[in-house]
Amino acid sequence: MTDPIAPGDRDALLAIARAAVRHHLGLGPAPEIPAAGPLAAERGAFVTLHLRGALRGCIGTFRPLGSLARTVAAMAVSASSEDPRFPPVGVAEVEGLAYHVAVLEPCRPMRDLSEIRIGRDGFLVRKGFHRGALLPVVAAERGWDAATFLKHACLKAGLPPDAWKDSGTTVEIFSALEFGDGDPGPGP
């Protein structure tokens, strides 16, 4: 990461995500968005929600929506209400949600599969109107190697598993600092 996020700032981002969802559901005030410091920097982010260990929503953007804090707040609300795979989060679920944030580094073109580091790098695959991204944690959790990870990123984009080999497909790599509720520590 070019600009590390301190453990206290990680906690603040998780609190902002939580407050944004609660506010969206009419359960509390809007989160306070810092105007200075690391959380005011423009960064892309993903927010993932789990309910009792099951995925409940995940939305992100590689293009910041202003500050990192503002982007995290917006992605948390989107993950709770706009992930097309799930119905919107209801008031009865909000207390059981676990939050996970991924702070993104800018994308860079993939030159060769050997440059991928599982647990550090994620993929963004694009071809025409098809687009799919997988966060670094996905491959690490599932024990995938780089080729399997890339295959699943293509499938998520709605493309054939080997679409990454097509010259018309753009494959980019990004790094992310990932943290969330229940994590054992701040991590790298």
> Using one digit for the tens of pLDDT, what is the confidence trace for 116-132?
999 889 999 999 999 99
User: What's residue 3's pLDDT?
Assistant: 55
Residues of the chain with pLDDT under 70: 1-3, 182-188
Q: Is the pTM of this model over 0.85?
A: yes
d(CA 122, CA 177): 11
CA distances from 142 to 35, 116, 147 (A): 38, 16, 13
Superfamily of domain 7-104: Hypothetical protein ph0010; domain 1 (3.30.700.20)
Instruction: Tell me the CATH number of domain 108-176, given options 3.30.1490.150, 2.30.22.10, 3.40.50.150, 3.40.630.10.
Output: 3.30.1490.150
